[in-house]
Amino acid sequence: MKNTKLALLAFVLMVSTATTLKAQKKNKVNAKKQVEETVESLRKLMLDPDSARLSAAASDKLTFGHSGGKIQNKQEFLHSFLTGETDFTSLDFTDQTVTVSGNTAIVRHTLAGATADKGKAPGNVKLWIILVFQKVKGQWILLARQAVKPPVT
């Protein structure tokens, strides 16, 4: 009788553990998909900025780093896109990877686009980007971004 109870307990623990691991894996996949959708939404907002949506996409603690060394806070980031100081006419993200750890997500990708920044000649840009998102009240918001120029080959 004692062996039967132990065997039953072992079986219940195995099923419980397997179910928990499967749920954790599914949650991680769902989180990754949510982050990917958030990045795509951000890409679209960078092409066609909307004040309320762009503001909601970024943390009040945002630090937004450019490849030339310029660092912007949230207000400067919003101002840049909403005034045309930064103006993308095309924008593609490729080679993207997403890593989710709890309420933090790290995204890396290559940004390639055409620009029509206010006061500058039209141009093209290719950058390596790292984005850091934080999940707040069920939403992934941009906490940090850093761009670097790829090495010349």
| CATH code for the domain of 129 | 3.10.450.50
Confidence band for 30, pLDDT divided at 50, 70 and 90? very high
User: Is 153 part of any domain?
Assistant: no
**Strand (E) or helix (H) holding 9:** helix 2-47
- Per-residue pLDDT reduced to its tens digit, 39-87: 999 999 999 999 999 999 999 999 999 999 999 999 999 999 999 999 9
User: Is 113 part of any domain?
Assistant: yes
User: Is 91 part of any domain?
Assistant: yes
User: Is 10 part of any domain?
Assistant: yes
User: Is 36 part of any domain?
Assistant: yes
Please classify residue 42 by burial: count the beta carbons closer than 10 Å to its beta carbon, then call 0-12 exposed, 13-18 middle and 19+ buried: buried
The answer to whether the beta carbons of residues 42 and 57 sit under 8 Å apart is yes
Number of structural domains in the chain: 1
| Residue 129, domain extent | 2-148
User: Is 98 part of any domain?
Assistant: yes
pLDDT value of position 127:
98
Residues 6+ apart with CB under 8 A from 143: 59, 61, 62, 63, 132, 133, 134
pTM: 0.81
User: Is 124 part of any domain?
Assistant: yes
User: Is 106 part of any domain?
Assistant: yes
pLDDT value of position 152:
86
- Per-residue pLDDT reduced to its tens digit, 94-130: 999 999 999 999 999 999 999 999 999 999 999 999 9
